[in-house]
C-alpha cells in the first residue's frame, strides 16, 4: 500500500447484541468445577470464580458501550491488517503526540482513567504545557483490531504498523511512546527502528532477556528470581508460546474458562489497596472480559507469545542500545510479585535517561495508579517536548 494512501477512518465500535445475548445464556448455564478451594496456589479458586461469574451475570454491557461511545475511535488498514485506534487529542495546541501500547491480558481499556490525565493535565494535577495527544492502538488480534496472520506478529512487526499509523495515517512527524508488558517490547522496537521519528520512550517494568555473561551478582540474582518465577507462575506463557490453539479453543467457547484464565492474571498481577484487594474495581475486570468475549479475540491475543518464541532474533540485542532516550519505571506491589530488573541490566539494552522504582502500581499501573503513571510520563517526556511537539505532516 502506498504510504500516502493510508487513511484513519472514524468509526463507532459496537458490542454485538446477539453475541452478548449468547454470553448471558452461557453464564446462566455455566458449569463450575466442584470444590471449595480458597487458595490461589493451585490456580483460580472455585469460590472466587463462582463469585466472578455471578458478578459477570449482573454486569451491564450497555454501560460499557456507553463508555466506548465517549471515546474517539479510528480504523486504519495498514499492511493488509485492520487496526483499531483510540485517538484522544490534547486540550491545548502544540501538544506532544504519545502512543500507548498495552499488553496481555489487557486492551485499550487499560488507559481509560489515564487518558484525561494526559490530554488535559491542568485540572488533573499537572500543567497545561504537559498535555499529550494520545494514540492508543489495539494490538492485532486484540479488541476491535482485526486478526493477525496465523502465526501472530512479532514486536518488530507491530512496531512497523505503529510507525505507519503515527506518521502516514495521523501525520505525526515526531512523537514519544510508552508501553508495558507486550507493549514494552513493541515500544522498544519502535524506538530502535525509527529513532528519527521517536523522540523518547517510557517503559513500565520491562521484561529483559538474559544477556551474554559475565553478570554481576545483582543480575545473577535477578535471573535466579526469573527462573523461579517462571517455574511457579509462567505456565500460561509456555502454553501461549507452544500450543495457543489448544487453550484458545476453551477461551473462545467458555466464558468460565475465559474468566478463570484472564481473571487470575489481572487479579494476581495487580497491586493492592490498603485492605489487600486488587487496586482496581471489579468493573475493569468485567469490562475486559466482556470485550474479549464480544470481539472473540481471546484466542488471537495469545499469538504474540508464539511469534516471539518461533521467530529467530525476536529479542532485543544486548550491549547495542538504540540512541533513543529511554525512561524506565519499575512498578511493584503485585499480589504475586514479578522479578524486578536492576538498572545495570536495562542499560545493556537501552539508553537509560531516567529510572524510578515504586512499591505500588503493579503490572497494570495505568489501572491501579493512573495518577502516578501520568506524573511519571510527564516527567519522562518533559525534556523532549520541543523535539516531539509541533505541526503534523502537511
Domains of the chain, start order: 3-12+45-386 (3.40.50.1820)
Place of cell 454491557: 61
Instruction: Return the axis-axis angle of helices 255-268 and 17-28, rounded to nearest 10°.
Output: 90
Integer Cα distance of 360 and 56 in angstroms: 27
The confidence score (pLDDT) of residue 17 equals 97
Q: In what order do the strands lie in the sheet with 8-11?
A: 8-11, 73-78, 81-88, 132-137, 96-101, 175-180, 198-204, 325-332, 351-361
* Percentage of the chain lying above the pLDDT 70 cut: 97
Q: Please state the pTM of the whole predicted model.
A: 0.96
| DSSP string over 233-299 | HTHHHHHHHH-HHHHHHHHHH-HHHHHHHHHHHHHHTSBB-TTSSBSS-HHHHHHHHHHHHHHT-TT
Contacts of 170 (CB under 8 A, 6+ apart): 8, 87, 97, 135, 392
The confidence score (pLDDT) of residue 393 equals 52
Q: How far is CA 361 from the centre of its chain?
A: 14
Q: What are phi and psi of 99, to 5 degrees?
A: -100, 130
| DSSP conformational letter for 337 | P
* Residue 392 in this model has a pLDDT that exceeds 90: no
* Residue 164 in this model has a pLDDT that exceeds 60: yes
Is 170 strand, coil or helix? coil
The confidence score (pLDDT) of residue 389 equals 72
By CB atoms closer than 10 A (0-12, 13-18, 19+), residue 129 is middle
How large is the average pLDDT for residues 334-360?
97
| DSSP conformational letter for 69 | T
- Average pLDDT score over the chain: 95
Number of residues assigned to the chain? 394
pLDDT digits (tens, 9 = 90+) for 3-21: 456 899 999 999 999 999 9
pLDDT digits (tens, 9 = 90+) for 80-116: 999 999 999 999 888 999 999 999 999 999 999 999 9
pLDDT digits (tens, 9 = 90+) for 268-313: 999 998 778 889 889 999 999 999 999 999 999 999 999 999 999 8
Task: Report residue 2's pLDDT band, with 50, 70 and 90 as the boundaries.
Answer: very low
The confidence score (pLDDT) of residue 161 equals 98
The confidence score (pLDDT) of residue 277 equals 85
Task: Report residue 384's pLDDT band, with 50, 70 and 90 as the boundaries.
Answer: very high
Amino acid at each position: 500500500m502506498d504510504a500516502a494512501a493510508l487513511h484513519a477512518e472514524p468509526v463507532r465500535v459496537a458490542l454485538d447484541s446477539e453475541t452478548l445475548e449468547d454470553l448471558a445464556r452461557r453464564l446462566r448455564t455455566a458449569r463450575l468445577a466442584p470444590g471449595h478451594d480458597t487458595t490461589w496456589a493451585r490456580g483460580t479458586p472455585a469460590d472466587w470464580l463462582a463469585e466472578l461469574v455471578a458478578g459477570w451475570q449482573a454486569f451491564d454491557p450497555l454501560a460499557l458501550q456507553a463508555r466506548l461511545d465517549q471515546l474517539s475511535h479510528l480504523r486504519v488498514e495498514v499492511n493488509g491488517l485492520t487496526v483499531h485506534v483510540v485517538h484522544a487529542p490534547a486540550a491545548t495546541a502544540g501538544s506532544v503526540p504519545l502512543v500507548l501500547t498495552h499488553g496481555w491480558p489487557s486492551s485499550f481499556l487499560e488507559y481509560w482513567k489515564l487518558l484525561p490525565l494526559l490530554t488535559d493535565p491542568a485540572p488533573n494535577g499537572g500543567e497545561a504545557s504537559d498535555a499529550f495527544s494520545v494514540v492508543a492502538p489495539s494490538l492485532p488480534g486484540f479488541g476491535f483490531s482485526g486478526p493477525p496472520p496465523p502465526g501472530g506478529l512479532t514486536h518488530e512487526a507491530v512496531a512497523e504498523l505503529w510507525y505507519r499509523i503515527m506518521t502516514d495515517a495521523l501525520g505525526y512527524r515526531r512523537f514519544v511512546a510508552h508501553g508495558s508488558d507486550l507493549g514494552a517490547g513493541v515500544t522498544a522496537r519502535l524506538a530502535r527502528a525509527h529513532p528519527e521519528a521517536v523522540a523518547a520512550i517510557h517503559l513500565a517494568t520491562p521484561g529483559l532477556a538474559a544477556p551474554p555473561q559475565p553478570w554481576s551478582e545483582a543480575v545473577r540474582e535477578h535471573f535466579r528470581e526469573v527462573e523461579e518465577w517462571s517455574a511457579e507462575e509462567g505456565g500460561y506463557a509456555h502454553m501461549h508460546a507452544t500450543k495457543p490453539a489448544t487453550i484458545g479453543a476453551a477461551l473462545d467457547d467458555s466464558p468460565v474458562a475465559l474468566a478463570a484464565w484472564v481473571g487470575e492474571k489481572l487479579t494476581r498481577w495487580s497491586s493492592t489497596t490498603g485492605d489487600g484487594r486488587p487496586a482496581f474495581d471489579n468493573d475493569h475486570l468485567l469490562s475486559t472480559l466482556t470485550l474479549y468475549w464480544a470481539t472473540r479475540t481471546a484466542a488471537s491475543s495469545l499469538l504474540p507469545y508464539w511469534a516471539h518464541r518461533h521467530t529467530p532474533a525476536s529479542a532485543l540485542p544486548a550491549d547495542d542500545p538504540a540512541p533513543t532516550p529511554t525512561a524506565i519505571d519499575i512498578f511493584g506491589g503485585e499480589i504475586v510479585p514479578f522479578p524486578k530488573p536492576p538498572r545495570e541490566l536495562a542499560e545493556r539494552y537501552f539508553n537509560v535517561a531516567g529510572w524510578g522504582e515504586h512499591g505500588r502500581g503493579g503490572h497494570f499501573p495505568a489501572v491501579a495508579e493512573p495518577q502516578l503513571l501520568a506524573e511519571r510520563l510527564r516527567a519522562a517526556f518533559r525534556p523532549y517536548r520541543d523535539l516531539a511537539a509541533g505541526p503534523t505532516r502537511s
